[in-house]
Amino acid sequence: MFKSTYEAITKGNPMWNELPVPEASLYSWDSNSTYIHEPPYFKDMTMSPPGPHAVKNAYCLLNFGDSITTDHISPAGSIHRDSPAAKYLLERGVDRKDFNSYGSRRGNDEVMARGTFANIRIVNKFLGGEVGPKTIHVPTGEKLSVFDAATKYKSEGHDTIILAGAEYGSGSSRDWAAKGPMLLGVKAVISKSFERIHRSNLVGMGIIPLCFKAGEDADSLGLTGHERYTINLPTDVSEIRPGQDVTITTDNDKSFTCILRFDTEVELAYYNHGGILPYVIRNMAAAQN
């Protein structure tokens, strides 16, 4: 049985052999698929590193306290019937009974971005104790889903940041806990402390991790999250050092100093390239040349 099966294993079977196969050497993305979607990580990428990106007058997308875990951040579990991800699937003809889970649709960045910060137990200070995956769009005061607020900020041309307390990103390591915020347009996370792996994952997706100085946090500095934040990083990557002090200013004349949590020169290189994925692509291309 073993010999008869494996003698013909490369010949497939009638059902397999009848599958249509495109002639091209690269995978042809199916625009109608709700399970697999071409990710945007390399969209408009050039072979030259973009260098440090300015974060000026950014709005706060979410204002958290302590112990926000990767389970709070990452899309996981079933897709709630009233969520942005559900709306996306319904618009594409998917019945509610076929929603499946975020885990099964992790190959579709459109679904996963909509599921980022969609945990029903998440607590955002903007909502005054209300629990759930909502936030406030600061310019209008509208209460929106996190995805809709992030989309609105992006359409208006605004960067966003996240304020957090201690142990941001604690719990098990999840790649989408860093991919999702990047897709939402988050440029920096300012917290009291980070879980080690999640901090590194944020750097890998081009998000700047910053820590308040010891004894300080958003509350002690009088930050409500309704301010606009400018992160005064040098524009020349050669002037940035792991662990250096960085001044952050707000539109209501507050100024405070944070610690830049690029912890190694390698992480700084990732940031200079816009993240680990473009860093790898550029280095592979350079090696081939």
pLDDT grade for 85, boundaries at 50, 70 and 90: very high
Query: CB-based contacts of 202: which residues, under 8 Å, 6+ apart?
Result: 169, 178, 181, 189, 194, 208, 209
Q: With contact defined as beta carbons under 8 Å apart, do 168 and 191 qualify?
A: yes
CATH number of 56-72+120-288: 3.20.19.10
User: Tell me, what's the pLDDT at 98?
Assistant: 95
Q: What is the CA angle 255-67-197, rounded to 5? A: 90
Q: What is the CA angle 177-179-183, rounded to 5? A: 120
Would you kindly state where each structural domain of the chain is located, as residue ranges? 56-72+120-288, 75-115
pLDDT per residue over 122-179, tens digit each?
Answer: 999 999 989 999 999 999 999 999 999 999 999 999 999 999 999 999 998 899 999 9
The two three-digit tokens of residue 259, written as one number? 């610690």
Cα–Cα distance for residue pair 93/31, rounded to 1 Å: 13
The torsion angles phi and psi of 211, rounded to 5 degrees, stand at -115, 135
Look up the pTM and report it. Answer: 0.91
Q: Is the pLDDT of residue 20 over 90?
A: no
